Amino acid sequence: MPRPISASIDPAALRHNLSVVRRHLDQTAAGSGGVAPSIWAVIKANAYGHGIEQAVAGFSDAQGLAMLDLNEAVRCREAGWGGPILLLEGFFESDDLDIVDRYHLTTTVHTREQLDMLAHARLSRRVDIMLKLNSGMNRLGFTADSFGPAYARAQQLQERGALGSIGKMTHFACADGPQGVSGQLAVFDAATQGLAGPVSVCNSAATLRYAEIAVGTADTTHWVRPGICLYGASPFADADAASFGLRPAMTLRSELLAVQDIAAGDAVGYGATFTATAPMRIGVVACGYADGYPRHAGTGTPVTVGGVATRLVGRVSMDMLMVDLDPVPGAAPGAPVVLWGEGGPSVDAVATHAGTIGYELLCAVAPRVRRQVV
């Protein structure tokens, strides 16, 4: 019998969340009389911890898949995905172009070195690229000044038969916050003005809040790049996933291993950071930071035991954590526990208590936790 912890992955929730995004984009486009964007479903980092194969199944209605690990791209092809695949960081060395070619991948190009490698590559077919602009985040991309020359260079490679379509892409730093996207969008519009090709600018936050900027025209295809919202978590600190009609695709479950009856004045766990003020029952859950549960989630972090909402008490240990059983007087060893997901708190609520974001928790679920597809 393995430890009772597991992460259930629900491909129907992935499918549902994609349809929520699809509907939002279609309505926005219909409202402005434009063309609705295509969707690159972002499945980097093992599909945010959900598993590449589960994502390929759940996102079969997406127009494309996007990630940054070439092995994950190959796994998509092996899982039967025949549509476009975008490498968000492009290729890392010239040998990678064999894989780009063989598996028919679309690649981001964000450096001159990548253009040089494309110029020298022996390819069996044209490679579609998305040329990336650094519009202010200062992570990846050509500066506004060097974007035009990079585009011209890509066009030369296109004329020589090396490249297929040349798209234009950027990434927003503050789409989830009060600063919004207008400053970076103005930089993007100015730097790409008059340059033909597909456009891709929106992550989840921009897709949900600023879908109007992704509406295409008869001659320009837009692609949005949502990630986190497709897994049923929120990109926003001020709006939860449920408010958009999104459903959690991962549920982290475990069980009570033991119950302790403690007296007023008794402490719980390492460092004795929680002390009971009255007699109470404590449940010990088979889940710890070695499973990927955040150690910084302290007393008060929400958790559900036997279907009843309660809270963590004390410090999270490597393999266990403790919970307050006062709201669940009947709970005994074996009682079901939901750490986050369906029937429990949202991953975002747990993350907030740990000083982080749902993205990090989903990606950090440890390999030792069994993944179950439901």
Ligand X SMILES: *Cc1c(COP(=O)(O)O)cnc(C)c1O
Q: Which of residues 16-55 bind ligand X (CB under 6 A)?
A: 42, 44
Binding mask 173-212 for ligand X (x = CB under 6 A): ------------------------------xx--------
Residue 87 or 166 with smaller CB distance to ligand X: 87
Using DSSP's 3-state secondary structure scheme, residue 328 falls into coil
Q: Are 301 and 308 in contact (CB under 8 A)?
A: no
Q: Are 53 and 233 in contact (CB under 8 A)?
A: no
Closest approach, Cβ 323 to ligand X, in A, equals 30
Closest approach, Cβ 6 to ligand X, in A, equals 24
Residue 198 or 298 with smaller CB distance to ligand X: 198
Q: Are 5 and 287 in contact (CB under 8 A)?
A: yes
- The Cα-based distances of 271 to 55, 291, 313, 314 in angstroms read 41, 21, 12, 8
Residue 235 contacts ligand X per CB under 6 A: yes
Q: Candidates 1-9, 109-117, 223-231, 241-249 — which segment interacts with ligand X by CB under 6 A?
A: 223-231
β-strand partners of 220: 217
Q: Residue 30: CA atoms inside 13 Å, Cβ hemisphere, count?
A: 6
Residue of closest CB approach to ligand X: 227
Number of residues that bind ligand X (CB under 6 A): 11
Closest approach, Cβ 42 to ligand X, in A, equals 4
Strands 370-373 and 336-340: unpaired
Q: Which of 197, 226, 232, 314 lies at the binding interface for ligand X (CB under 6 A)?
A: 226
Q: Candidates 221-229, 271-279, 285-293, 332-340 — which segment interacts with ligand X by CB under 6 A?
A: 221-229
Residue 75 or 225 with smaller CB distance to ligand X: 225
β-strand partners of 282: 260, 324
Residue 185 or 276 with smaller CB distance to ligand X: 185
Q: b/e per residue, 235-253, with b = 16+ CB within 10 A?
A: bbeeeebeebebbbbbbbb
Q: Candidates 115-123, 225-233, 288-296, 348-356 — which segment interacts with ligand X by CB under 6 A?
A: 225-233
Closest approach, Cβ 110 to ligand X, in A, equals 10
Q: Does the annotation flag 250 for ligand binding?
A: no
- Alpha helices by DSSP H, listed for the chain, are 11-32, 44-48, 52-58, 70-78, 96-102, 112-120, 144-159, 182-192, 204-209, 347-353, 358-364
Residue 88 contacts ligand X per CB under 6 A: yes
Closest approach, Cβ 289 to ligand X, in A, equals 23
Using DSSP's 3-state secondary structure scheme, residue 325 falls into coil
Residue 166 or 335 with smaller CB distance to ligand X: 166
Residue 171 contacts ligand X per CB under 6 A: yes
Q: Does the annotation flag 67 for ligand binding?
A: no
Q: Known catalytic residues?
A: 44, 270
Residue 153 contacts ligand X per CB under 6 A: no
Closest approach, Cβ 163 to ligand X, in A, equals 20
Residue with tokens 């190009």: 109
Q: Are 61 and 17 in contact (CB under 8 A)?
A: no
- Identify residue 288 by its one-letter amino acid code: G
Rounded CA separation 272/281 (Å): 16
- Alpha helices by DSSP H, listed for 133-269, are 144-159, 182-192, 204-209
Binding residues for substrate: 139, 318
Which residues in this chain contact ligand X in the complex, by CB under 6 A?
Answer: 42, 44, 88, 171, 203-204, 225-228, 235
Q: What residue numbers does the annotated binding site cover?
A: 139, 318
